[in-house]
A and B are shown apart, each in its own frame.
Chain A
Amino acid sequence: MNYPVWDVPILGSAWVIGAIASFHVLVSHFAIGGGFYLPMAERKALREGRADWLEVIKSHSRFFMVLTAAFGTVTGVGIWFAIGLGSSEGTSTLIHNFVFGWAIEYTFFLIEVTSAMVYYYTWGRVSDRMHLTIGWIYAGSAWLSLVIINGILTFMLTPGSAWLAVAGTGEEASRFWQAFFNPTYFPSLLLRTCICITLAGIWAFITMSRIDGARQPQLKTDVMRWTAKWLIPSFVLLPLCFAWYLYSIPEASRGLLELGVKTMGQGVFTQVTRAALVTVITSATICVIVYLLAWRSALDFKFGHACALLLLAMAATASTEYTREMLRKPYVINQHMFSNGTRKSQVDAFNRDGYLTRSPWVRPEERALWQSGDSADPKVQAAHMARGELMFRGQCMSCHTVDGYRSMRRFLETRDRQAIGNILTVLHEYKDDSPYKKFMPPLTGLPEEITALGDYLNQLVHGADAKKAPAPAPVVPVPAAK
């Protein structure tokens, strides 16, 4: 517990990261796919001498520049703030390992943003050939930024044995390339490239839908149909990429999905399977709607239809990213760091010496009160509850909130102190057959820390009179974790 905890009521910090990231992915992937769309559309229009089409592409490039350079950039910085606050330990590890990678990505990003602006502002001011070249420079730099960031994102699910062998030794950066080109790197790159191409088409519908079909029927039909074709590569390749990706992820993560599919009939299937289902459903719907509306009824395709497609794409993107995040459970960096920031290598030390022992967020006088045996003293009682709260903030709050998302009150409201203690014991023991082991980190700490957490949760759920109302607080038997 080296960093302070970011308390986001109701939503939880994970959802803040998720909400920003979903929007960022939707825009940043468009920035990459759209980078190919613009010069390819321009080349086609130039070859066919379609001045009317060039006007539309110019209009689309303005929309593209504003959206990607403004919203894409702001949300990108937003992610940095959010992950820095919400998952500080994980972010710290990534920075220590990949600072060089991020520097490369930032370089490509600068070229990307600059060339997007140059591309828009040089319409009609430079030769056609030069303008197309600028477009291709944009496309190349945008895709290369994906090439870089993809290595960092996939690392978190599959860091690879080479990196894990040196994890925690201070020499992690020496395995930069092994960590970068990890087992899921290439399937993920192909998967994301397909998504970029699809999103280029979907976002282009926003501009194309605004063409007046009654005034320019030929233009609207042509651009709508050409844009609709951008979904074909994904339609064919995405299932194959997804299969390759699934084949490359760790067996335990695949097991989560398989378990979900097997238990679907009983309705108890895992969240990750539910989210994956949403991806499949919304992606299939996008294809059908593009066929029905954009291809078959191009002239009737309106701005509202384009927005509906975009909303579906947003649902598909958000659920895909959610699935990817959930597949890592209970880790934030697979086999190295749990989702609450505790490193796997720290578990034994925390159980032996205490989770809060080295925490810089505990005042010395508070520690003194913890050591006091006078449990009748109100100050000692308050300190005991404060200790439980610190445990809660450090070990639970990265995923749970008090009243909102994954609400602790809702989870525990039907349980008395004894039952809460039993759950904590199961989480602490972390046995192989534990039902929580697939998606929750171990609960670490000394027996008295875990008792304090149990008392705090009991009070949180059942109110200040908790000690009187439910069963009396038991002495929680806490065996040493294995």
Chain B
Amino acid sequence: MAKSSLPGFDAIPFGRLYDWLDERVGVKEVVEFAKKKVVPEHSQSFWYYWGGMSIFFFTVQLVSGILLLVYYRPGEGAYDSVRQLVYEIDFGWLIRSVHSWAANLMVFSVFVHMFSTFFMKAYRGPREFGWWSGLGLLGMVTLFGFSGYLLPMDELAFFATKVGLEIPKNMPGMRPLIENIVQGGPDVSSVTIQRFFALHVVILPLMFLPLLTFHLWMVMKHGNAVPQSEELKPASQRRTVPFFPNFFIKDLAMWLIALNVLAILAAMYPWPLGVQADPLASAPEGIHPEWYFMNQFELLKILGRILPGMAGEIGGVLMFTLGGVLWGLVPLFDTSSKFGSRARIATWFGFMVIASLIALTVLGYYEVVVTKS
């Protein structure tokens, strides 16, 4: 068999195919470029997989979302179309389940990726734009989640969205804006589904994909950051592996494991479809948003108990906003690559954010359980 110029693929037909393609489209140039890129190798390399993992789940979202579009009907028939998909169309339940589970796993991966990036100080110059574009992507991912949650229009989706939209509506001057533009009326209805559908499948992807491309370009341009313990080592002692094929193969293996987790969750715990939403009914006990919004929801509840009237909600929203702004401004605060006091403050700030998110989420779920029981 002819020797291929693709390393490691000499003895298999794939090598010939590669050569055939290379002659026509110049695959070798791309491979050569990828081989020049290197990924640092050290005891914390595990965290480098999470960015790729997030993209993997996004790809699953894209494919399963397109398949869902075949049957989904936004508007009045939304619930019926999802019910038909789940109970009448072969493997419809699986596609919906994969889409929903992948959405949650993507949010989880993005969070892990963000915090690992934070603690590796990967926000420092010259990587500031990588950090800011990443935060933009995180914001859009949560918006994807929020807009997609309503689409089945079952009881839980309806009331969770209603509760979620009430929060910004209570901000001074925001009610007309939310009702006219987002909600399409005074209450959540089939018009809201159409708007959320447009947001979910057109507007957000159109914004997300260019930003993702920019984010990846930043990673390619500046490479991976390393933990401070690695920075201290002389260059001769730092290890790297070529992105292609070494790191790419490991990435593939991690994606395969991620696919396993997704397949097990989707097959063993199919995403449920509740009863059809009845706008005239009262909200079920313990209604709450998805887990990634639970911390904000709980903070609002706590402040609502402490502060009078609308002050709790306004205070809560101001706190998230301030927290988000501070989180985004960290690259301008912790700029030094040495171990200064600002670096330590930023690290402690990161730990505090994680601890608060976890504590508020756990407390939120605890209250839900107590309310239901």
* A interface residues (Cβ-Cβ under 8 A, vs B): 214, 264-267, 274-275, 277-278, 281-282, 285, 288-289, 292-293, 296-297, 300, 302, 304-305, 308, 312, 315
Is B270 part of the binding interface, using a Cβ–Cβ cutoff of 8 Å?
Answer: yes
Q: Is the CB of B256 within 8 A of A278?
A: no
Complex contacts, A302 vs chain B, CB 8 Å: 45
Known: A275-B268, A304-B46, A312-B260. 4 other contacts (CB 8 A): A265-B90, A278-B263, A297-B245, A305-B253
Q: List 21 A-B contacts (CB under 8 A).
A: A266-B90, A267-B86, A267-B87, A267-B91, A277-B263, A278-B263, A281-B260, A281-B263, A282-B260, A285-B259, A292-B253, A293-B249, A296-B249, A300-B241, A300-B246, A300-B250, A302-B45, A305-B250, A305-B253, A308-B254, A312-B257
CA distance A263 to B264 in the complex (A): 18
Of B46, B91, B257, the residue contacting A265 (CB under 8 A) is: B91
Closest residue to A293 on the B side, CB-wise?
Answer: B253
Is B239 part of the binding interface, using a Cβ–Cβ cutoff of 8 Å?
Answer: yes
Chain B nearest CB: distance from A271 CB in Å? Answer: 8
Closest residue to A273 on the B side, CB-wise?
Answer: B267
In the complex, how many residue pairs between chain A and chain B have their CB atoms under 8 Å apart?
67
Q: Is the CB of B264 within 8 A of A296?
A: no
Complex contacts, A277 vs chain B, CB 8 Å: 263, 267
Complex contacts, B256 vs chain A, CB 8 Å: 285, 288-289
Given contacts A278-B264, A278-B268, A282-B260, contact A292 B249 (CB under 8 A): yes
Complex contacts, A288 vs chain B, CB 8 Å: 253, 256
Chain A nearest CB: distance from B161 CB in Å? Answer: 24
CA distance A304 to B267 in the complex (A): 26
Complex contacts, B259 vs chain A, CB 8 Å: 285
* B interface residues (Cβ-Cβ under 8 A, vs A): 8, 41, 45-46, 86-87, 90-94, 239, 241, 245-246, 249-250, 252-254, 256-257, 259-260, 263-264, 267-268, 270
Q: Is the CB of B246 within 8 A of A267?
A: no
CA distance A277 to B245 in the complex (A): 31
The 5 closest A-B CB pairs, nearest first, are: A267-B93, A265-B90, A289-B253, A292-B253, A292-B249
Complex contacts, A297 vs chain B, CB 8 Å: 245-246, 249-250
Complex contacts, B41 vs chain A, CB 8 Å: 300
Of B92, B246, B252, B267, the residue contacting A278 (CB under 8 A) is: B267
Closest residue to A288 on the B side, CB-wise?
Answer: B256
Among A266, A302, A305, the most chain B Cβ lie within 10 Å of the Cβ of: A266
Complex contacts, A296 vs chain B, CB 8 Å: 8, 245, 249
CA distance A305 to B267 in the complex (A): 25
Q: Is the CB of A315 within 8 A of B260?
A: yes
Closest residue to A277 on the B side, CB-wise?
Answer: B267
Closest residue to B267 on the A side, CB-wise?
Answer: A274
Complex contacts, A267 vs chain B, CB 8 Å: 86-87, 91-94, 270
Chain A nearest CB: distance from B358 CB in Å? Answer: 22
Closest residue to A294 on the B side, CB-wise?
Answer: B253
CA distance A308 to B253 in the complex (A): 10
Closest residue to B96 on the A side, CB-wise?
Answer: A267
CA distance A435 to B147 in the complex (A): 39
Q: Is the CB of B252 within 8 A of A292?
A: yes
Closest residue to B97 on the A side, CB-wise?
Answer: A267
Complex contacts, A300 vs chain B, CB 8 Å: 41, 241, 246, 249-250
Q: Is the CB of A266 within 8 A of B257?
A: no
Complex contacts, A265 vs chain B, CB 8 Å: 90-91
Closest residue to A311 on the B side, CB-wise?
Answer: B257
Chain A nearest CB: distance from B368 CB in Å? Answer: 15
Complex contacts, B246 vs chain A, CB 8 Å: 297, 300
Chain B nearest CB: distance from A199 CB in Å? Answer: 18
Chain B nearest CB: distance from A220 CB in Å? Answer: 14
Closest residue to B252 on the A side, CB-wise?
Answer: A292
Complex contacts, B249 vs chain A, CB 8 Å: 292-293, 296-297, 300
Q: Is the CB of A315 within 8 A of B87?
A: no
Q: Is the CB of A308 within 8 A of B257?
A: yes
Among A267, A278, A285, A308, the most chain B Cβ lie within 10 Å of the Cβ of: A267
Closest residue to B41 on the A side, CB-wise?
Answer: A300
Closest residue to B239 on the A side, CB-wise?
Answer: A214
Complex contacts, B45 vs chain A, CB 8 Å: 302
CA distance A214 to B42 in the complex (A): 12
Chain A nearest CB: distance from B30 CB in Å? Answer: 20
CA distance A305 to B41 in the complex (A): 14
CA distance A292 to B252 in the complex (A): 8
Chain A nearest CB: distance from B96 CB in Å? Answer: 9
Complex contacts, B267 vs chain A, CB 8 Å: 274, 277-278
Complex contacts, B8 vs chain A, CB 8 Å: 296
CA distance A48 to B19 in the complex (A): 39
Complex contacts, B94 vs chain A, CB 8 Å: 267
Among B90, B241, B250, B252, the most chain A Cβ lie within 10 Å of the Cβ of: B250
Chain B nearest CB: distance from A323 CB in Å? Answer: 12
Closest residue to B91 on the A side, CB-wise?
Answer: A265
Of A274, A285, A293, A304, the residue contacting B260 (CB under 8 A) is: A285
Complex contacts, A264 vs chain B, CB 8 Å: 91
Complex contacts, B253 vs chain A, CB 8 Å: 288-289, 292-293, 305, 308
Q: Is the CB of A281 within 8 A of B264?
A: yes
CA distance A281 to B260 in the complex (A): 7
CA distance A291 to B256 in the complex (A): 12
Complex contacts, A275 vs chain B, CB 8 Å: 268
CA distance A282 to B250 in the complex (A): 17
Q: Is the CB of A266 within 8 A of B250?
A: no
Chain A nearest CB: distance from B295 CB in Å? Answer: 26
Complex contacts, B250 vs chain A, CB 8 Å: 292-293, 297, 300, 305
Among B46, B94, B267, the most chain A Cβ lie within 10 Å of the Cβ of: B267
Complex contacts, B239 vs chain A, CB 8 Å: 214
Complex contacts, A281 vs chain B, CB 8 Å: 260, 263-264
Complex contacts, B260 vs chain A, CB 8 Å: 281-282, 285, 312, 315
Q: Is the CB of A289 within 8 A of B241?
A: no
Complex contacts, A293 vs chain B, CB 8 Å: 249-250, 253
Complex contacts, B241 vs chain A, CB 8 Å: 300
Complex contacts, B91 vs chain A, CB 8 Å: 264-265, 267
CA distance A296 to B259 in the complex (A): 21
CA distance A265 to B92 in the complex (A): 8
